[in-house]
Amino acid sequence: MAFDIGLAILVLGVAAWTIAARDTFAAVIGFVAYGLLLALVWVRLAAPDVALTEAALGSGLTGGLLLGASTRLARTQGSAAIDKPSAIIRRAAAVLCTLVSAGLGAIVLLLPEPAPTLAPQAAANLAATGLGNPVTAVLMAYRAIDTLLETVVLLLALVGIWSLAPDQLWGGLPGRRYPVDRDGVLTFVAQLLVPVGILVGIYIFWVGSIAPGGEFQGATILAAMWIFATMARLADSPAVSRRWLRLVLVVGPAVFFAIGLAGFAIAGGFLAYPEAHAKLLILTIEVPVTLSIAATLALLVGGPPERALR
């Protein structure tokens, strides 16, 4: 309990520093630290799958995205100072936010006892899905339609980002060309670490059916390894108009949707699995979805095309 109090105070302290820091770069570093501490909180809340996702996606990829943006926007730091709201607005905002926090805190303290829960039903039907991890069962079997729509939302965000390219760069290569690493430090580490990282990513995806892990966590690690390889100039981003890239992006949701439609024929409902083949079908969905999501996440961090197609 004392550890939890200390951790909660630390999380709030780092979050307060993220808000209060003058320099945007410092605030982003604070945000990355906050994300890692939040992953610890998730472990204490007995949610290791969420902890993995928060550490990899919420802290890692989001931190990388925001760091890149803050360096590009560094020149605009000073000019926004004239837009700072007056002291009255700041005080009113503080009062409003305290009220909101107090309201949410009251809700937390007044949560119903005994707590309503779907855990018994989730555990009872776990054997029918052939999985050992209840969170993966929820994501891929009980609420599979949410996961299907989530992959589509990721694709839509990517399309939105790509559509921001200026006309002459349409269909070009996303992200900038990183400078050549003359001393070879980054190249050496990337050559060492990227194969290990790919292995770890595939392992975390594979073990997600019986232990904490899953396709989103594994896909995030694979995406991070790709981004690392492009930073070390071991690979370059493909142009967004390449057909094979678009195929890789779409194959996951497409297979998911197809198996969902097939569920009408073989099990009597959209995304229903026949009990004998549930694990096999879930695996058939998960492999292309992991690939697609890894590519989508890497391209989301890359941003709109910035170099024209030659």
Q: Which of residues 284-303 bind other proteins (CB under 8 A)?
A: 297, 300-301, 303
19 touches other proteins (CB under 8 A): yes
Give the shortest CB-70-to-other proteins separation in angstroms: 6
Evaluated on CA atoms 275, 279, 285, 286, the torsion sign reads positive
Q: Is 88 in the site for other proteins (CB under 8 A)?
A: no
- The verdict on 167 binding other proteins (CB under 8 A) reads no
Q: Which stretch binds other proteins (CB under 8 A): 78-86, 251-259, 262-270, 284-292?
A: 78-86
- Indicate the angle between helix axes 2-20 and 24-44, nearest 10 degrees: 160
Position among 41, 234, 239, 283 found at the interface with other proteins (CB under 8 A): 41
Judged by CB under 8 A, which stretch of 179-187, 244-252, 261-269, 282-290 contacts other proteins?
179-187
Which among 16-24, 236-244, 264-272, 281-289 is the span making contact with other proteins, rule CB under 8 A? 16-24
Pair 290, 280: CB distance under 8 Å: no
Query: CB–CB of 142/153 below 8 Å?
Result: no
Judged by CB, which is closer to other proteins: 181, or 262? 181
Distances in Å between the alpha carbon of 276 and those of 131, 134, 138, 264? Answer: 12, 18, 18, 16
Considering the complex, state which of residue 162 and residue 263 has its C-beta at the smaller distance from other proteins: 162
Interface with other proteins includes 5 (CB under 8 A)?
yes
| Residues 251-280 within binding reach of other proteins (CB under 8 A) | none
Secondary element (H or E) of residue 307: strand 305-307
Pair of tokens at residue 165: 């390219």
- The reply on whether position 111 binds other proteins by CB under 8 A is yes
Binder among 127, 128, 145, 192 for other proteins (CB under 8 A): 192
What one-letter code names the amino acid at 87? A
Task: Please enumerate in sequence order all residues whose Cβ is within 8 A of that of 224, keeping only pairs 6 or more positions apart, or say none.
Answer: 56, 60, 61, 64, 197
